[in-house]
Amino acid sequence: DEFISSPPRKTVRFGGTLTEILLKYEKGDTTDFELLKHQLSDPDIKDAQIINWLHEFRAAVAYLTKELEQLVNILLRLPWLRRSREVVEEYLGFLGNLVSAQTVHLRPCLRMIVSLFVPPRITIREDDVDISDSDDDDENISENFDTCHRALQTVARYVPSTPQFLMPILEEFFPFINKSERTLECYVHNLLRVTVYLPTLRLQILELIIEKLLKLDVSTPQQDIEDAEETANNCASEEKSTEEGLFAMEEDEDKKGNKVVSPSIERMAHPLAERLDILMTILFSYIKDVCHVDGKLDISNTKDLYRDLVSVFDKLILPTHASCHVQYFMFYICSFKLGLAEAFLDHLWKKLQDPNNPSVIRQTAGSYIGSFLARAKFIPIVTVKACLDLLVNWLHKYIDNQDTGANAYCDVALHGPFYSTCQAVFYTLIFRHKQLLDGNLRKGLSYLQSLNFERIVMCQLNPLKICIPSVVNLFAAITRKYQLVFCYTIIERNNRQFIPVVRSGTGGDLVQTCTNPLDSFFPFDPYILKRSKKTIDPMYQFWEELSAEDLENLKKPIKKGTSEDEDDDFLKGETPQNDGVVEIAPNSYESNTRSPVSSIGSPADCYVPYPL
């Protein structure tokens, strides 16, 4: 501030002062003016020259009106950022004087600053083709970004309306997703830094970033990411075996004991997944830094950020089908305090039960509730029970209202939210039944019996026909084991009602059936981005794999005399016994809703069989 307010030194130049040159230009004499523009545009301009010119321009900002926009643009293109400290300080002073005296130049100034939010571009020539990308080797890049934010803060201090002019520029300059990872990383990081000193823009900036992340996410289905990883691993194994065969020589002895971890281990094989992974890591770090002050959770900061993130969730995430990773920003912030997790569940519950919301939004809210309750380790069983009570009571009231009316039949279009809620309850029971029964088995069974699953399963709306088969089969196995309800009669009846579709193609005929009429998905299925998953994994409930012996035991019928202290083995993939059973080949319609077999931590897919 002291430097900016200090008067500039007088500088005498050949041909007169800057003020004299500008006055001559106004009278039509452009000779000195053109010479001035030429000197300022010189790529070899020296630091001393820049400082001298800026001294004069600071004293003459009153003359830099709209008519001299071309000259101002030349000044804004001066290579000031990577110059000496004196040049940087003088330039910041000039920017402050310019925008305070001539607000007409505010937008060009903001555009210049935001354009510096990415690393400088370098041109590499290969085979007579110019390849331009960001320069990752700039050692002063962090310091340069600090200076950019100083410049933006200087402008905002002199022009209070800066935020409303800045936001459209931030949107305009957001790099395309095919730009280098470094370019995207720097830009997103700098956007988040802006929210620290311009808090009124935080919600809009978070919306902008998450919207871009969402586009990346839906462009990279989980199956594509896993296929790319598998291909890369196979290629790496082949290269390793070839190298071991060719170079098993003396130099290998020197490398023993000096194990080097390849940086490629941390990289995602899929290029868009790699970008998404880097940006999600930045977003998680930002959430953590905002919510914690000196290592301790700041309740006020956390609540404010939670409100902004919920707003973004409602606007962008909830209406988007089958995103895989971006929604985990809500999972992460809810892990900081139980109250946040309960608030999020309450928010979703209100979405689900509100008949004024579109059916698809209500169904998606149901999917989020079920997946969140099942996967979040930080949600205690008492909260799970409270949510199950709410959901199951709502289901029973829904059945009361519908089961004897004109619409009392199985129809996704009519009863989508009901089926989504059923699936959320079934899915939660699959993951949480051990904890519900832990400690006091008799008390746990009494609680589960009080939920009256039999009425839900047996009602005219027939939820077992609509829910995803893998969930139905696991739910049926668990409820049979504890004699809560016997689902297999209904499952068999539903199977007979399925009409397989025969589709002819170049590979022959393929028998298919729709095993996901709800078109639902589990939003908190396993997180597979390598870097950012380290943040999520400690608080994430993975699927427990069972041994072949456990699976064999599931086929044995349960006897009524079974001891209450019998171990509660986790169940997986049990299907009703049927001699004429074939597996239905999954089609593309199901690909976004079923957990890939290679995803460690998800229940295996179980297909509904039908009689041959």
Domain spans in the chain, listed from the N-terminal domain onward: 1-121+140-161, 362-503+516-523
> 161 Cβ partners below 8 Å, 6+ apart?
none
Distance, CA of 502 to CA of 345 (rounded, Å)? 42
**560 token code pair:** 């009524």
Give the chain's length. Answer: 612
In this structure, the number of other CB atoms found within 10 A of the CB of residue 18 comes to: 20
pLDDT of residue 244: 55
**Residues 191/209, Cβ–Cβ less than 8 Å:** yes
For 156-197, what is each residue's pLDDT tens digit? 999 999 999 999 999 999 999 889 999 999 999 999 999 999
For 73-115, what is each residue's pLDDT tens digit? 999 999 998 889 999 999 999 999 999 999 999 999 999 999 9
- Estimate the crossing angle of helix 202-218 against helix 181-197, to 10 degrees: 160
Phi-psi region of 588 (alpha: psi -120 to 50; beta: other; left: phi over 0): alpha
Give CA angle at 292 (287, 294), nearest 5°. Answer: 140
Task: Provide the pLDDT confidence category of residue 521 given band limits of 50, 70 and 90.
Answer: confident
In this structure, the number of other CB atoms found within 10 A of the CB of residue 336 comes to: 20
- The reported pTM is 0.82
Phi-psi region of 322 (alpha: psi -120 to 50; beta: other; left: phi over 0): left
pLDDT of residue 346: 97
Parallel, antiparallel or unpaired: strands 296-297 and 501-505: unpaired
For 205-221, what is each residue's pLDDT tens digit? 999 999 999 999 999 98
Distance, CA of 63 to CA of 317 (rounded, Å)? 50
The mean pLDDT of the chain is 81
Predicted confidence (pLDDT) at residue 518 exceeds the cutoff of 90: no
**30 token code pair:** 């452009």
